[in-house]
């Protein structure tokens, strides 16, 4: 049990690279305020820095190298087999940069979350920070959403907003957004662990038993002390 007395939710985290969101989840779980048990960290890239972070934390890791599979469907089947071996209640995509097949997404309907560095539905895809500045937006941020078959699509659960400064650079903006991601994602996962959120059969997010009509705004929430 954690300090919140919520039973620890078994999760599997998928990564492709650096792993800073992974580290924020590890830190919050270690400090006992995030009620998860990270059963495994899986990467599609053998050289992902995040694999080292997971090993340093004593978490089992696995590599399912997409370049060893003839097509996306075969890769997704192998990945699904490896995930399900760990019997997670939730699959957490943390910088996992692969498009997923519809069958894979359907298998994890309502039990797979992703974090994306934009205020979805604005700016799905790559280079969101540069694109937000170039588009002249005054505001940017990050979103946590349930995963659907559309890239960076699916119902949005929560967002963190970050102001774009007049002389902002993509790197500076990305760093400020990333700080917010590290607060936003553990909180959203904790809501899931506490059964406060679920996705109904119509793709509607229910929050505390009521339909969520717009994403929760991190600025209005009490974040986890980790
Ligand atoms: C994060 O900014 C995450 O939001 C983004 O990749 C980065 C991973 O960083 N994800 C996407 O763009 C998904 N479309 P991390 O490996 O340090 O957590």
Interval 17-32 mean pLDDT: 98
Mutate which of 53, 117, 120 for ligand 1? The one with the most ligand atoms within 8 Å of its CB, which is: 117
Q: What span, in angstroms and rounded, lies between the C-alpha atoms of 85 and 109?
A: 18
3-state secondary structure of 161: strand
Task: Give the closest residue (by CA) to ligand 1 atom 2.
Answer: 117
Atom in ligand 1 nearest the alpha carbon of residue 151: 14
**Residue 15 near residue 22 (C-beta atoms within 8 A):** yes
Percent of the chain with pLDDT over 90: 96
Output the CATH code of domain 9-220. Answer: 3.40.50.170
- Provide mean pLDDT across the span 1-15: 83
- For ligand 1, say whether the CB of 94 is within 6 Å of any of its atoms: yes
Calculate how far, in angstroms, residue 60's C-alpha sits from the geometric centre of ligand 1: 21
> What does the pLDDT look like over 157-180, one tens digit per residue?
999 999 999 999 999 999 999 999
98 lines ligand 1 (CB under 6 A): no
| Annotated catalytic residue within 66, 116, 129, 145 | 116
Question: Which residues lie closer than 8 Å to 200 by C-beta, 6 or more apart?
Answer: 110, 206
Residue nearest to atom 14 of ligand 1 (CA): 116
Contact status, residue 41 vs residue 118, Cβ threshold 8 Å: no
Q: Judge whether residue 183 has pLDDT over 70.
A: yes
pLDDT higher than 90, residue 4: no
Q: Which atom of ligand 1 is nearest to the CA of 128?
A: 12
Mark whether 202 is an active-site residue.
no
Give the pLDDT band of residue 5 (cuts 50, 70, 90): confident
By the 8 A CB rule, do 22 and 103 touch? no
Residue 47 has pLDDT above 90, yes or no: yes
How far is the centre of ligand 1, averaged over its atoms, from the C-alpha of 117 (Å)? 7
For 24, half-sphere exposure in the C-beta direction (CA atoms, 13 angstrom radius) is: 23
pTM attached to this predicted model = 0.97
Asked whether 131 lines ligand 1 (CB < 6 A), one says: no
Distance from C-alpha of 102 to C-alpha of 113, rounded to nearest angstrom? 15
Compute the distance from residue 95 Cα to the ligand 1 centre, in Å: 4
Q: State the average pLDDT over residues 57-69.
A: 98
Q: Calculate mean pLDDT across residues 114-142.
A: 98
Q: How far is the CA of 200 from the centre of ligand 1 (A)?
A: 26
Task: Give me the mean pLDDT over the 116-130 stretch.
Answer: 98
Q: Where does the pLDDT of residue 20 fall: very low under 50, low under 70, confident under 90, or very high at 90 and above? A: very high
pLDDT score, position 3: 52
pLDDT number for residue 11? 98
Average pLDDT over residues 108-114: 97
Residues 184-214 have pLDDT tens digits of 999 999 999 999 999 998 999 999 999 999 9
Cα 98 from Cα 151, distance rounded (Å): 9
């Amino acid at each position: 049990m954690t300090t919140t007395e919520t039973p620890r939710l078994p999760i599997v985290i998928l990564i492709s690279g650096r792993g800073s969101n992974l580290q924020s989840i590890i830190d919050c779980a270690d400090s006992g305020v995030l009620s998860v048990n990270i059963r495994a960290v899986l990467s599609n890239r053998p050289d992902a820095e995040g694999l080292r972070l997971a090993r340093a934390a004593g978490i089992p890791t696995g590599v399912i190298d997409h370049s060893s599979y003839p097509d996306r469907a075969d890769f997704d089947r192998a990945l699904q087999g490896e995930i399900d071996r760990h019997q997670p209640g939730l699959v957490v995509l943390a910088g996992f940069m692969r498009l997923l097949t519809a069958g894979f997404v359907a298998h994890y309907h309502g039990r797979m979350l992703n974090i994306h560095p934009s205020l979805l539905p604005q700016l799905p895809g790559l280079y969101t920070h540069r694109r937000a500045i170039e588009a002249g937006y005054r505001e940017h941020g990050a979103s946590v959403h349930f995963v659907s078959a559309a890239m960076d699509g699916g119902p949005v659960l929560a967002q963190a907003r970050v102001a774009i400064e007049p002389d902002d650079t993509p790197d500076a903006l990305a760093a400020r957004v990333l700080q917010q991601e590290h607060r936003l994602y553990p909180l959203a996962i904790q809501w899931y662990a506490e059964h406060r959120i679920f996705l109904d059969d119509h793709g509607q997010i229910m929050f505390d038993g009521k339909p969520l009509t717009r994403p929760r705004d991190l600025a209005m929430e009490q974040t986890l002390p980790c």
